[in-house]
């Protein structure tokens, strides 16, 4: 998902009752110990499993405003917890289900504008106001990037601007 700015990571990613540690400290320790590990994949997995996922998920949901960065569908905190890796079919952004969902999102925006402007053309200012309103929502509406690009008439390869509100650029 383009233009999502990253907040600071959680201050403590250790399970409750353990010595608190920052994500940067955990990463540094992993990278220092990884070369000496007998089975690097198992070592990396066990290190990852030792992190407090609920703290990481809280930041993830907040920074992505409850949308999956791959498919832009809504994700929710639930049990069992949603997988981080989605099914292969969903990771294909040209999967027919995702293409149809993006088309439906554009059709919904088109219908909304037709209702709002009955027989008139929406001004550039009105379109920009709608895009800004979508970007101000928390959580984001599904398929927010394709919606705002369509509203701003920026659909096309390499034409969409990052998902930011006026005057705010994403942190790189």
Within-domain flag for 136:
no
Name the band, by pLDDT with cuts 50, 70 and 90, for residue 172. Answer: very low
45 is in which domain, residue-wise? 23-89
Helices (H), the chain: 23-33, 40-49, 53-63, 88-91, 96-117, 124-136, 144-151
Within-domain flag for 101:
no
pLDDT 10s digits, 2-31: 545 556 677 788 888 888 888 888 889 999
Within-domain flag for 80:
yes
Within-domain flag for 133:
no
Number of structural domains found in the chain: 1
Within-domain flag for 55:
yes
Name the band, by pLDDT with cuts 50, 70 and 90, for residue 32. Answer: very high
Within-domain flag for 77:
yes
Within-domain flag for 2:
no
The better pLDDT of the pair 71, 157 is held by 71
Within-domain flag for 138:
no
Q: What angle do CA 53, 59, 63 make, to 5 degrees?
A: 140
């Amino acid at each position: 998902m383009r233009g999502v700015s990253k907040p600071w990571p959680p201050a403590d990613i250790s399970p409750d009752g353990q010595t608190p540690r920052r994500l940067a400290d955990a990463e540094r320790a992993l990278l220092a110990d990884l070369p000496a590990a007998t089975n690097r994949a198992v070592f990396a997995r066990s290190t990852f499993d030792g992190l407090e996922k609920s703290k990481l998920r809280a930041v993830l949901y907040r920074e992505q405003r409850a949308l999956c960065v791959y498919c832009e569908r809504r994700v929710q905190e639930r049990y069992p917890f949603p997988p981080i890796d989605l099914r292969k079919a969903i990771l294909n952004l040209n999967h027919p289900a995702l293409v149809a969902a993006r088309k439906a999102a554009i059709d919904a925006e088109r219908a909304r504008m037709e209702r709002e402007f009955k027989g008139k053309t929406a001004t550039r200012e009105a379109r920009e106001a709608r895009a800004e309103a979508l970007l101000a929502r928390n959580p984001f509406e599904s398929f927010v990037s394709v919606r705002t690009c369509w509203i701003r008439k920026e659909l096309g390869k390499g034409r969409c601007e990052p998902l930011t509100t006026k005057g705010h650029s994403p942190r790189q």
